[in-house]
Chain A
């Protein structure tokens, strides 16, 4: 279902969710939105374990964020000490209820931002996104920059492999031990890639100019994004979410803020 939504609406949704949890930074609110995001993965048939290594990395990183917040926060009701009292030493590193709350707040916020971004990327076609941005009166010449940038990615991937193989055949190995070796590695891999990339600029821009790119204020598209009644309904829901976060932050919804 999310695949069919307007790309600009999905981008707006991503921005609204990120803004809402900054306005009302409650861990329960973040947790609720995270559950909705995971439901979004399910509803869109996007497998969350598509890259298990990345998910594991994100979970480890969020656990580290949690631990950092817990140990940095000294106020609140002390639940226990990480290093208990021993003889005349300690206790050290108190763990408080407020610290745990802040830990959840930060780690869930991190997971929410990253997972909602992953969902957005999974269900959004960049070409349709560029088209929908032009419908928001962003000049197509600028929105097309995103399309070019994304279309060149596979090419750069192939060229990167070619450059590395070429350097290896010359006996140049990549190493990051020490600043001089980092700079050397960067020089031997970045420079050929950069020259290769920039040498395409003239050919591509001349080709685009030759086809009349930028000549007219409007242009035609092979594939277009559309705006439906469902998009309008989702926009209303997202606006309500943003409004609710503002009202919660200002304390106008005390009954709800007691729960989330």
Chain B
């Protein structure tokens, strides 16, 4: 890291260095991990269940003691501080609202514990922010799931924590409400400017809300970056398959041509910009070539001559097609990849593109990415489908 350590800049950063968690039964939930969450950002920890994302969050909250490593909040080391001494608040999965207290008292709980006497104004303002002013005297069980969720957010935010931790906060809500709350949380985060660390297994949720996403798998961070960076430039097969869908082709490095690598796959050649390849590229070495389904164009074999020069092409036969409305999804049977997925927008439909038709798939080399072939080609497929 070459950033200048200006006090203002790191004032509210969350810095985890080398933290890991091994439980008494020998299970390692989190492998030694370094992570910096910049102040004021919306950060998502994304992964399937059991990948260590919640454990990481709980170590920041102080609910779990790390086996190794340190946790810094700004300049303050908090690794061994109990939760009630940390300037951090959590929105728990299924909210954990106090059932014996009304909404007002739930929200006032943190203020009262810090000895603040006149809480009325602050609580009312906070309930206004989450649009629950009318419900102040109700008990949690009288509210709907979405309202309870907002109470949980208000109860945490009112303390102006340095970091707000959200543990699958939308998991219990139905799809429509979830969408609505995603926008709501994003709005609140922009409004209050507090660092949010959001744990989720829902890739769409992570991508729509977060500035930075860390994809976790088996206790490790697979890749960290902006949502578009992760999607366009996956570094591992897990990220490629977990975030959206990727077509991965096994290929062999043939020659290098300037900034491009030329690869052999099946009978044909594919071009890949070297800058978009995260694998070592020695001649004769194996590389996994990937491309997203929506980057591919589909042309009937009869019109193959009209395809512009310089595009990567693969021939195959349509196995299935399903009409989605906004697009049509094809599964292509090709020699290099048995189930090649292609999404074509429904602008002008070519009626010849029906199951059984011979087609040419072609895409720009700039949309191609290269991955290390030593990895499991199907890593993350099931987890991605489950999420």
Asked if A pairs with B, the answer is no
Which A residues lie at the B interface, using CB under 8 A? none
Which B residues lie at the A interface, using CB under 8 A? none
